[in-house]
Amino acid sequence: MKTTCPLCAFEYEPGDESCRASGCPFASKACRKLHCPRCGYSVPDERASALARLVRRLLGERPRVERVQREATDAPFRLSEAPVRTRGAVSHIDAAPALSAQLAAQGIVAGTVLRLAQRHPAFIIEVGETVLAVERSVAHSVWIHPGDPTVADSQEPHA
Amino acid sequence: MAPRKGLGAPALATVGATSDHGRNPQTNAIDDQTRRIVLVGNPNVGKSALFTALTGHHVTVSNYPGTTVEITRGRLRIGSDNAEVVDSPGVNSLLALTEDEQVTSALVASLRGNPNAVVVQVADAKNLRRALLITLELGQIEVPTVLDLNMTDEAEGHGFEIDTQGLSEALGVPVCRTVATRARGVEELVAAISRARVPLNHFALPEEARPAVARLKAGVASELGAVDLRVVARYTEALLARADSLVKSYVRRRRGPTGAWLHPDRLAHVLGALSVHPVWGWPMLFLALGAVYLFVGRLGAGTLVDLLEHGLFGRLINPAVGALFARVPWPFVRDLFVGPYGLVTVGLTYGLAIILPIVATFFLAFGIAEDSGYLPRLAAMLDRLFRAIGLNGKAVLPMVLGLGCDTMATMTTRILATRKERLIATLMLALGVPCSAQLGVLLAMVSVVPASAACVWLISVMATVVVVGWLAARVLPGQVGLFVLELPPMRMPGLGNVLAKTAARVEWYLREAVPLFLVGTFLLFVLDRVGALPGLIRIGEPIVVGLLGLPREAAEAFLIGFLRRDFAATRLFDMARGVAGLTTIQLVVSMVTITLFIPCIANVFIIVKERGWRVAAAITAFVFPLAFAVGGLVRWAMVAAGTWGVR
């Protein structure tokens, strides 16, 4: 999982290889720091910190590392993997016909622009003025293109 | 389409309304003679509010989907003509996927070719895209339609501008603007009914989606195969694409929602977000439960019951009636009204002095929760917990409604997607969800036992519900539907609507429950007079005394518990406060047993109606023995623990 150095903005894959390559003597699985191989700047690994996860959850956010990764790619991904506040257009729905029909009746079809407002305890999805609560497996079947399609001028939630 | 008969100047008048209890959806077809106005639309867009505005007759209006699960009919006077107005359950698409949607689909399909039928499609003006899906479907079915953009005040508040004229021309139907809750624009809507037309649907439909149109016109069955569902999804996608292009052409958003932080819309939005927040949602939930407990348990079951029972009935009514009947020379008549099983001293006192204040305060609290939009958010919060008992979060709605009345809630199980879920929810309602009347009495009983004993009652009932639900989820065949639930916007509950709803429910209680209380009392009186009561008590002795360890007289309570369990609970509560009283263990055992009883005889009838007599018989044969078995188990465990005495 890639991360971006907050000091030099270099994007790197944290882990043993890059750490060892930079010559860090503490490079091991027990290490709880992310070490930029370009500038050497190190930050605590949020993913390894239960407290950081709690704070993020209290603020309704996902760990930053994950969001950075999502912004870096244009490929469609599952809504269940999207960080909170992701906005994008539905690429396709990978679900059994019953769920596809149910989602279509709720206005969610390929091309519909939606926003993920929350992930726990249920996934909260905003489609125009409609707000839906769905379980994780439903969010897992919806693939979205990341990005921020402009829909602010109408009710039309189509990209 | 042939020109329609003019309806003349609108002049609204109230004639009344009825609900189609017991009717099969397929028989909701409308005859061709009377002019019919059928209200159709997405859930929670104000159909029932418009129905009230048109007919003047109050129907239950709430801020969550599934309030209307049956057809309701009322009358509207238009000029010199009478028209019938029909309110239908909300649908997201006329290609029905659930049992409640099927009611509306069948109704709309039956309107085809009826020259006197008009559909008034009620739309949330803020959410036109999804409404237009139904408009386009109505075009496919070829039913004359008027499109009513309701909640235009909210849409304007959100900065939406809708070109009504342009939309009307594009769809080929009259488009009106209303605020149904304030009866704004209703007369213009009535005037437009005479101009209703079939919506235009001149757009290319994909070839593979065409079978869906035939299904739409026929009024589809809810159990669809995979191929059909794929067609439905493809068809809906095509219609939504058309709806999107219409929205793009005729709706503009000039600005976002009203910006001021203290604006009610903004506060409601923040409150809505907090109530489903992964962390803050739980304190909000406990806060809401605490508030309900204080309002119903303390104010209703405590203060108001004291005032009515000891004040009004204890000091005024019962002594006055007693003095009146003291002059009656026939002991039989005297005992019938003011004896130990007297209709006034027991039946009316229980029904009006003890239960009425409890149900009234509960209905008031429930009305506020309904109108605020909190209940669907509660469903989202509890989805994962409900999975353990083979249900999903959507089942929270009938369960919470069951705290008001299990009989009404059993009908609401229709909103659940699969037969298995509906069956489990029906069983859970019959087994472990106390109705408002019973809950109030139970809360009053809780207040006279130690906190630890109250916990035993709560844990016993919850454990029984969870274990039975868990087993039912594994034993019953079928699937559990996926959790997809629309969350309506949080709103400040309207005082008028909440009070009207409470009044309607209290009236329902007085009409349905109080007569059963009187029947129960009369039954006991007759049994006592003919000398059969001691015999029945003897028959029940092995269970009541042997298994549950209760006094012999408690058999009376369980006997009438078959009619209404809240009546039985009240009887037990009365015994507890009597001279002999009940020990802590006896109180808890009786509370557990009576909580697990089937709520009332009306509940059995509604299970027969909704799920068939086999299911009703199976649930009845399962619940009553289980209630006694759990009661016996609790008694054994409490005696073994030795903390609460030995009886």
**Confidence class of residue B609 from pLDDT cuts 50, 70 and 90?**
confident
Residue B498 confidence (pLDDT): 81
pLDDT of residue A27: 62
A17 with A55, same domain? yes
Query: Does B131 have pLDDT greater than 60?
Result: yes
* Same-domain check for residues A149 and A97: yes
Residue B150 CB neighbour total at 10 angstroms: 30
Q: List per-residue pLDDT tens for chain A, 159 residues long.
A: 667 777 776 777 766 566 666 666 666 656 667 777 766 677 777 776 777 777 766 666 554 444 444 444 567 888 988 888 888 899 889 888 888 888 888 889 888 889 999 888 889 999 888 889 999 989 999 999 876 554 433 455 554
Chain A CB contacts of B241 below 8 Å: 109, 111, 158
Residue B1 confidence (pLDDT) above 50: no
- In a domain, residue A65? The reply is no
Distance CA B168, CA A123 (A): 37
Nearest to B394 by CA among B386, B405, B404, B403: B386
Name the band, by pLDDT with cuts 50, 70 and 90, for residue B149. very high
Say if A95 falls within a structural domain. Answer: yes
Is residue A88 domain-shared with residue A150, that is, in the same domain? yes
Scan residues 68-97 of A and list those with Cβ closer than 8 Å to B: 96-97
Question: Are A86 and A30 members of one domain?
Answer: no
Within this chain, do residues A50 and A104 fall inside the same structural domain, yes or no? no
Tokens, residue B309: 């029972």
Number of folded domains in chain A?
Answer: 2
Residue at A66 is within a domain: no
Q: Report pLDDT digits (tens) over B283-297.
A: 999 998 888 878 877
Residue B71's pLDDT is 72
The domain in which residue A7 lies consists of 3-59
**B 204-233: CB under 8 A from A:** 224, 226-230, 232-233
Read off the pLDDT of residues B208-263 as tens digits, 9 standing for 90 and up: 666 667 777 776 554 566 667 777 788 888 888 889 889 989 988 776 555 555 66
Question: What local confidence, expressed as pLDDT, does residue A98 receive?
Answer: 81
CB B543 within 8 A of CB B635: no
pLDDT of residue B134: 92
| Confidence band for B26, pLDDT divided at 50, 70 and 90 | very low
pLDDT, chain B, mean: 81
B-chain residues near A111 (CB < 8 A): 241, 244
Q: Could you tell me the domains of chain B?
A: 18-253 (3.40.50.300), 281-479+499-641 (no CATH)
User: Is B275 in the A-facing interface, judged by CB distances under 8 Å?
Assistant: no
Whether A5 contacts chain B with CB within 8 A:
no
Question: Is residue A27 a part of any domain in this protein?
Answer: yes
Regarding whether A102 and A50 lie in a shared domain, the answer is no
Residue A14 lies in a domain: yes
Q: Are residues A82 and A47 in the same domain?
A: no
Q: Residue B622's CB: how many other CB atoms inside 10 A?
A: 16
- A10 and A42 both lie in a single domain: yes
A121 close contact with B: CB closer than 8 A: yes
Residue B117 contacts A where some CB pair is shorter than 8 Å: no
ipTM for the complex shown: 0.73
Same domain, yes or no, for A52 and A86?
no
- Alpha-carbon distance of B331 to A159, in angstroms, equals 83
Q: Is residue A110 part of a domain?
A: yes
Query: Residue B13 has what pLDDT?
Result: 34
Instruction: Answer yes or no: is A70 within a domain.
Output: no
Which residues on adjacent β-strands are paired with residue A3?
A: A12
The reply to whether A68 falls in a domain is no
What does residue B448 show for φ and ψ, rounded to 5 degrees? -105, 0
Q: Write down the pLDDT at residue A158.
A: 52
CATH code, domain with A118: 2.30.30.90
Query: Distance between CA A100 and CA A105 in Å, rounded?
Result: 9
Any chain A CB within 8 A of the CB of B388?
no
Q: Is the pLDDT of residue B30 over 60?
A: no
> Whole-model pTM?
0.72
Domain boundary among A29, A59, A89: A59
Q: How confident is the model over B133-162, as a mean pLDDT?
A: 89
A100/A144 same-domain check: yes
Shared domain check, A97 and A51:
no
Of A98, A119, A133, the CB nearest to B229: A98
Q: Are residues A42 and A88 located together in one domain of the fold? A: no
Please report the pLDDT score of residue B451 as a whole number: 87
Among B96, B66, B94, residue whose Cα is nearest residue B413: B66
